[in-house]
Amino acid sequence: MKYSRIGGTGSYLPEKVLLNSDLEKIVDTTDQWIRERTGIAQRHIAAEGETTADLAEAAARNALEAANLQANDVDLIIVATTTPDCVFPSVACLLQQRLGVTNSSPAFDVQAVCAGFAYALGIADNFVRAGTARCALVIGAETFSRILNWEDRNTCVLFGDGAGAVVITASDSPGIHSTHLHADGRYEELLHVPEGVSRGYDAVRQQQAFVQMKGSEVFRMAVSKLREVVDETLAANDLDKSELDWLVPHQANIRIIKATARKLDMSMDKVVLTVQDHGNTSAASIPLALDTAVRDGRIKRGDKLLLEGFGGGFTWGSALITY
């Protein structure tokens, strides 16, 4: 079996919902501005004490159930996250423990911010193609609310918490046709959390340990890089854009998503849109959108999907999949 395919999907959103009208009471913003500029109507926020591993576990269990597989069938766990529970162990190792996977298979985290799920999927696909894994759990999970400055209206209205998961299994036919991963480290200043473990978190500088973003520059780069990666993906598979059934994009901003859809000549009813319900959940947003459209019956077996995402780093990536 030289390919990988998606065996099942799952997702989880924390119970607490924060509406745009709630944010109006915290920062100088309006429901109208947030909806018009981003498409977001609400986001979910993890409860006190609820961690990324909690969200990841719920999504992973959903995906395993959908794939009709048991925890010990899993021989690889990759969690894409920028907001892990602790410095170590990884969320993937915490998850392996919680799920009761005792077969000593590898488990690790990937940090590529909003492109994290595309990265994790690409890595898992390569493990399966190489014959070193047969059943991988690939998860995007974030508690981004913990790295937001709730006094900064430029960022705090955009993000939310959540998790999405897929089970990848070995297959005779694709499945995942190709993945395309990129990074350009020159743009650190446009989107970053400039503090961390090695730089230290002293009392004064701690005020900077939050997402900082130059929104309009990030917007322009996202649109341009996503256009490029979409072209690259179609060309690599000798596929015409008319052959795509669904665009499953990273859910950062409806205007970025619309720009990619226009590039693909896809009408918005062929685009899975969930940004209104959970905002930008970083690495979780692509699998959250995928799981939503699989469970509500829009995405069916045999459909051709284009997944894409762009995030801090900058990092960006895509995958072409027959579901």
Q: Is 182 a catalytic residue?
A: no
For residue 69, the minimal CB distance to ligand COA (Å) is 31
What does DSSP say about strands 16-19 and 42-45: parallel, antiparallel, or unpaired? antiparallel
Q: First vs last Cα of the chain: how many Å apart? A: 17
Going by the DSSP 8-state scheme, the letter that residue 145 receives in this structure is G
Is 135 known to be catalytic? no
Q: DSSP for 291-309, please give it.
A: HHHHHTTSS-TT-EEEEEE
Residue 216 as a binder of ligand COA (CB under 6 A): the answer is: yes
Segment contacting ligand COA by CB under 6 A, of 80-88, 130-138, 152-160, 263-271: 152-160
Among 18, 94, 114, 319, binds ligand COA (CB under 6 A): 114
Interaction of residue 63 with ligand COA, rule CB under 6 A: no
Q: Does 157 bind ligand COA (CB under 6 A)?
A: yes
Tell whether residue 116 is a contact of ligand COA (CB under 6 A).
no
For this structure, is 114 an active site residue?
Answer: yes
Residue type, 127: F
Angle at 284 between CA 160 and CA 109, to 5 degrees: 120
Q: Shortest distance, CB of residue 227 to ligand COA, whole angstroms?
A: 15
Pick from 145, 117, 122, 123: which is nearest to 11 by CA?
117
210 binds ligand COA (CB under 6 A): no
- What are the residues whose beta carbons fall under 8 Å from the beta carbon of 310, sequence distance 6 or more? 114, 115, 221, 222, 225, 226, 250, 252, 256, 316
Range 84-113, binding ligand COA (CB under 6 A): none
Burial bucket for residue 178 (CB in 10 Å: 0-12, 13-18, 19+): middle
> Among residues 88 and 150, whose Cβ is nearest to ligand COA?
150
d(CA 300, CA 298): 6
Is residue 127 a contact point for ligand COA (CB under 6 A)? Answer: no
Contact 166, 124 (CB under 8 A): no
Asked if 310 interacts with ligand COA (CB under 6 A), we say yes
Residue 133 engages ligand COA in binding (rule: CB under 6 A): no
By CB under 6 A, which span of 75-83, 197-205, 209-217, 233-241 interacts with ligand COA?
Answer: 209-217
**Residue 311 found at the interface with ligand COA (CB under 6 A):** yes
| Residue number, 89 or 215, with CB nearest to ligand COA | 215
- 12 within 8 A of 58, measured Cβ to Cβ: yes
The answer to whether 154 contacts ligand COA (rule: CB under 6 A) is yes
Cβ-based nearer residue to ligand COA, 222 or 294: 222
Residue with tokens 């069938």: 73
Q: Active site residue: 93, 114, 135, 156, which one? A: 114
Summarize as ranges the residues that interact with ligand COA (CB under 6 A): 29, 33-34, 37-38, 114, 153-154, 157, 213, 215-216, 218-219, 222, 252-253, 280, 310-311
Catalytic residues: 114, 250, 280
